[in-house]
Amino acid sequence: MKTILVTGGAGYIGSHVVKMLGEAGYEVIVYDDLSTGHEWAVLSGRMVRGNINDTVKLQELLQQYNIDAVIHFAAHIIVPESVGNPLKYYLNNVMGTLNLLNVLKQCKIDKFIFSSTAAVYGIPSIIPVAEETPLSPINPYGRGKAMIEQVLSDLSFSNEIDYVTLRYFNVAGADPAGRIGEGKPDATHLITMALRTAAGLCPHLDVFGTDYPTFDGTCIRDYIHVVDLASAHLKALEYLFNGGKSDVFNCGYGKGYSVLEVITAAKEITGNNFQVNYTGRRPGDPPVLIADCEKIGNILSWQPSHNDLHHIIETAWNWEKTRIARYNG
Ligand code: UDP
């Protein structure tokens, strides 16, 4: 049985991957500082509390367990926050990852899956955007992720690591069985905010910008269900264990929805015509991000099975109601 270290495994995406790894028969060790994650979200394996900048703790952990591969989620992920507080992002997402990579090198662990983001593309001139597009991030969150992508490429070139980088587009939805989902009380992403507004936790939903060069003036994003994203990680893991060479893959569906389309769907599904306020643009938002997702299908044989905006929002809504009942908002 293979043992996988999952940093950030108590977080939203990490916890879905941990659950799937457990179901697939992997031994899982979660390493998470619980700054935004939750212990209740870890449905498989062992949970160790710690930060990726804590070299000694990481060394102890890697001496204790025989780790075959690492999936690295632990990171800050909020674009506007990264614009306001870049150092927070560089210290954790860049320095913490470098520290982790250094400890992995000392312990001779050389299989690595990295959570990257569509934000590395910035404002792409060709949509859908393919992996070979030159990276040109427009905010500190995207820049930090692009820096680590470059580091991984250099480490692979010097034969120190085999890695898969997954560039996530807009991740949403929740475990269809309703056991886990987005747990951050201060989440900022569109679908979560819309549903929390429908649930009465926020007085209204702000639409950030109506003057973008899109068909209805609002930003367009490629929303991918978190369970499909989780399965991409298992495919990446199998690929590396089968000797696949280091590579980078987009994770999206290749179809975009505007902010207003998402809001219309959220209103339909919740049956609540919640209040929407139209405000100015949010710093760091590109107008359109849609994945060219052919490569991951061709090379990792990844096939989505939750590819439907209504299903994404429905699973997120079911989870949101459970979360509110269980954790009191
Ligand atoms: N957005 C919005 N209101 C919100 C949250 C997000 O209008 O309360 C917009 C945001 O400006 C962007 C899109 O929804 O155009 C997706 O943003 P999100 O934060 O979900 O993900 P991002 O694309 O920033 O990773």
pLDDT in tens, 251-305: 999 999 999 999 999 999 999 999 999 999 998 789 999 999 999 999 999 999 9
Distance from residue 200's CA to the centre of ligand 1 (Å) = 19
CB atoms within 10 A of CB 84: 12
Question: Is residue 327 scored above 90 in pLDDT?
Answer: no
End-to-end Cα separation, the chain, in angstroms: 39
- Looking at the CA of residue 284, tell me the nearest atom of ligand 1: 24
To the nearest 10 degrees (0 to 180), the angle between helices 140-157 and 97-106 is: 20
Q: Nearest C-alpha to atom 1 of ligand 1 is from which residue?
A: 190
Q: Nearest C-alpha to atom 5 of ligand 1 is from which residue?
A: 190
Residues with CB under 6 A from ligand 1: 79, 170, 188-190, 193, 205-208, 219, 221, 259, 282, 285
Let me know if 163 is a catalytic residue: no
Residue 184 amino acid letter: K
Q: Nearest C-alpha to atom 12 of ligand 1 is from which residue?
A: 219
Helix, strand, coil in percent for the chain, rounding step 5: 40, 20, 40
Spatial separation of the C-alpha atoms in residues 54 and 31, rounded to whole Å: 11
Distance from residue 46's CA to the centre of ligand 1 (Å) = 34
Distance from residue 23's CA to the centre of ligand 1 (Å) = 32
- Looking at the CA of residue 286, tell me the nearest atom of ligand 1: 15
Spatial separation of the C-alpha atoms in residues 144 and 5, rounded to whole Å: 22
Spatial separation of the C-alpha atoms in residues 198 and 180, rounded to whole Å: 20
For 272-284, the pLDDT digits (tens) are 999 999 999 998 7
State the CATH class of domain 3-172+223-251.
alpha beta
Q: What is the pLDDT of residue 149?
A: 98
Q: Which fold has domain 190-221+254-327?
A: UDP-galactose 4-epimerase; domain 1 (3.90.25)
Q: Nearest C-alpha to atom 18 of ligand 1 is from which residue?
A: 189
For 133-160, the pLDDT digits (tens) are 999 999 999 999 999 999 999 999 999 9
User: Which one of the listed residues 121, 141, 163, 212 is annotated catalytic?
Assistant: 141
Select the more confidently predicted residue: 229 or 183.
Answer: 229
What are the structural domain ranges in the chain?
3-172+223-251, 190-221+254-327
Question: Is residue 329 scored above 70 in pLDDT?
Answer: no
Distance from residue 56's CA to the centre of ligand 1 (Å) = 37
